[in-house]
Amino acid sequence: MEPFLWLLFSAGGVLSALLIPVLLFLFGLAFPLGWVSPPDHAHLSAVLGHPVTRVALFGFCVLALFHWAHRFRYALYDGLQLKHLERAINLFCYGGALAGSAVAGYLLLAVL
């Protein structure tokens, strides 16, 4: 199980490093502060609604969430020395990633 989880962690780490900086810069800073004018709803809706975007974003969300789960789990283990709470931490981290993936799948594949 551990190698599989590590693989998800690693793939999520690569995708997060490649994609989050530009997306967070645009939607978190550049659009709100007016440095760049945000895309209108019709355009963004068309881009997000494309099947390739939806599947790609779903894959990104799942891998990024498992990246968080794996890394945060070890941050709690080692950083705060909570080894004795192993079960609760695993449940919180991987359960959270699973729940988040389900929400992402619902929003990206069913609602959008």
DSSP secondary structure letters along 77-110:
IIITT-GGGHHHHHHHHHHHHHHHHHHHHIIIII
User: Measured from the CB of residue 54, what is the shortest distance to another protein in angstroms?
Assistant: 9
Question: Any idea what DSSP says for residue 33?
Answer: T
Site string for another protein, 48-87 (x = CB under 8 A): x----x---x---x--xx-xx-xxx-xx---xxx------
Integer Rg of the chain from CA:
17
CB burial class (10 A; 0-12, 13-18, 19+) of residue 96? middle
Asked if residue 8 binds another protein (CB under 8 A), the reply is no
Asked if residue 24 binds another protein (CB under 8 A), the reply is yes
Asked if residue 36 binds another protein (CB under 8 A), the reply is yes
User: Measured from the CB of residue 109, what is the shortest distance to another protein in angstroms?
Assistant: 11
How many separate helices (H) and strands (E) can be counted in the chain? 4, 0
Q: Which residues bind to another protein, rule: CB under 8 A? A: 12-14, 16-29, 31-33, 36, 38-39, 41, 43-45, 47-48, 53, 57, 61, 64-65, 67-68, 70-72, 74-75, 79-81, 96, 100, 103-104, 107-108, 111-112
